[in-house]
Structure 1
């Protein structure tokens, strides 16, 4: 029983949704997103509400039911409000800077690491230890944030590294001498 798949999505003001076969296109103030959904799930739009129905209760249709609803909901939320991930750099000499469209991160490696954001993403560096990634597509925002974090994930002994804002890193006690 998919509880997520049965929830109704309310279409906000100023959002336009087009369904062409399996291709769903959502337009809003933050841009346009399109994605192919599973042909198993039926998408119905009535009175500014989107509902999803599945043909039967097989395991395959139950699993894709909630996933399809979540994907379309993220598209609607992305074109209205957008998504944001904020990364914090913790460590002596760890810093980030914006050069044109690229982000250059210095985190104790022998070379600076550069990242080029995908089209549709805006990356901002409000201070040299904070990186803010914004965009309409939740997958692209999360993927860029994860690739930047993967350069130097936070380590548990000194807490140095790149972490998401609000992420808790469990600290460990170091070695003790005799």
Structure 2
């Protein structure tokens, strides 16, 4: 931890930094990171838990990394990657070009007879979650047929369609 209250974590996958609030003290003893708070005030307890989780995610990310798998469900939905540019066809009148941050690696796969999948990998959990949420927001799964961009394994609650009046 530096003098300006920034914790830096290095590992084989990269390096991450996080500013720490003054109400939380960070110390490293025998290779274990310890966090202590000033008091048991509600605000201090919540920040203690927040920074503990953020540092744990940083350590996990630089050592093992994170990955998110997404699938494109819908007729004619396609994904093509060229470097850090992801080109998506999501049923709109024009293709969508999505620029990825340099910290994120991308694999776009399309198997015949299956939905196209996008796999994002990175050492930064916050960044990968934010980018995945942005991708999902380009075409959210709709509740009638479930078409759209979704996480693999995500459950979409479906609604019944119109019923004819008899």
Q: TM-score, normalised by structure 1?
A: 0.87
* 1:1-178 map, 5 Å: 19-21=1-3, 22-127=5-110, 129-178=116-165
* Over 4 Å off, 4+ runs: none
Instruction: Tell me the matched-pair count.
Output: 160
CA RMSD of aligned residues (A): 1.1
Pairwise CA distance, 1:100: 3.0
Q: In the TM superposition, what whole-angstrom CA distance separates every residue of 1:68-89 from its partner, at most 9, and x where no partner exists?
A: 0001001000000111111100
Whole-angstrom distance in 1 between the partners of 2:151 and 2:162: 27
Whole-angstrom distance in 2 between the partners of 1:155 and 1:84: 24
Whole-angstrom distance in 2 between the partners of 1:127 and 1:139: 27
Q: In the TM superposition, what whole-angstrom CA distance separates every residue of 1:110-149 from its partner, at most 9, and x where no partner exists?
A: 1111111112110111227100111001111011111111
Whole-angstrom distance in 2 between the partners of 1:66 and 1:101: 34
Whole-angstrom distance in 2 between the partners of 1:37 and 1:133: 28
Q: TM-score, normalised by structure 2?
A: 0.93
Unpaired runs of 5+ residues, structure 2, are none
Unpaired runs of 5+ residues, structure 1, are 1-18
